């Protein structure tokens, strides 16, 4: 299902902060129903995520330190889409950098808004199959603290249901990929 865009009237728009990965705006607008107000919005170029599966059927995840949560989250590999970059290229780069695997087969799983209450970021989800380990291990970005974790789909589902720290984009993408596993 595609999001049907409805017209709104922007009355005032202020860039409050310009960051490395996103911008923060304060926008005064009139909604389609006529209500006026001010809203804050994080403007983000989007992210790409892969649900990588080894030939043995194991899912490849990363346990990554996330400063905002003050701890490590279990996630599928993902990264920010660069300016003028196709999300498929983003995730091909990120899966190699974060996991040390390269995929031979890709399937587009679609896209979804990550946090539509305050951000315009969309996640582009992909299924990565026919994985092979890279001969030369990748160098992690200096601002990343990542551990690669292999799990069966059943183990991941048990982890999700146990309430362990797994990010929402990974849970949503897993369930998009599940019919193809």
What ranges do the domains of the chain cover?
A: 9-43, 49-180
Q: Give me the sheet containing 78-80, strands edge to edge.
A: 78-80, 47-52, 122-133, 101-113
Query: Which of 1-15, 63-77, 97-111, 147-161 shows the lowest per-residue confidence on average (mean pLDDT)?
Result: 1-15
**Contact in structure between 154 and 57 (CB atoms under 8 Å):** no
- State the pTM of this model: 0.90
Determine the CATH number of domain 49-180.
3.90.79.10
Active site residue 56: no
Q: How far, in Å, CA of 142 to CA of 127, rounded?
A: 27
- The half-sphere exposure of 144 on its side-chain side, counting CA atoms within 13 A, is 17
**Contact in structure between 148 and 60 (CB atoms under 8 Å):** yes
User: What are the pLDDT digits (tens) for 18-40?
Assistant: 998 899 999 999 998 999 999 99
Quote the pLDDT of residue 107. 98
Spot the catalytic one: 75, 142, 144, 158: 142
Q: How far, in Å, CA of 175 to CA of 51, rounded?
A: 10
Q: Hey, how many other C-beta atoms are within 10 angstroms of the C-beta on 50?
A: 31
Quote the pLDDT of residue 133. 93
């Amino acid at each position: 299902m595609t999001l049907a865009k409805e017209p709104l009237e922007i009355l005032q728009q202020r860039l409050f902060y310009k960051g490395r990965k996103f911008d923060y705006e304060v926008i005064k607008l009139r909604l389609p129903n006529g209500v006026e107000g001010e809203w804050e919005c994080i403007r983000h170029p989007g992210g790409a995520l892969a649900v990588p599966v080894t030939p043995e059927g194991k899912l490849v995840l990363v346990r990554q330190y996330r400063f905002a949560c003050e701890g490590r989250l279990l996630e599928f590999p993902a990264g920010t889409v660069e300016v003028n970059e196709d999300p498929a290229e983003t995730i091909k780069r990120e899966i190699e950098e974060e996991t040390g695997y390269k995929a031979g087969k890709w399937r587009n799983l679609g896209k979804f808004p990550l946090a539509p209450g305050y951000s315009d970021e969309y996640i582009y989800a992909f299924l990565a199959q026919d994985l092979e380990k890279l001969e030369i291990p990748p160098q992690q970005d200096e601002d990343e603290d990542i551990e690669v974790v292999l799990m069966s789909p059943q183990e991941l589902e048990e982890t999700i249901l146990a309430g362990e720290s797994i990010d929402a984009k990974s849970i949503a993408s897993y369930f998009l990929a599940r019919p193809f596993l």
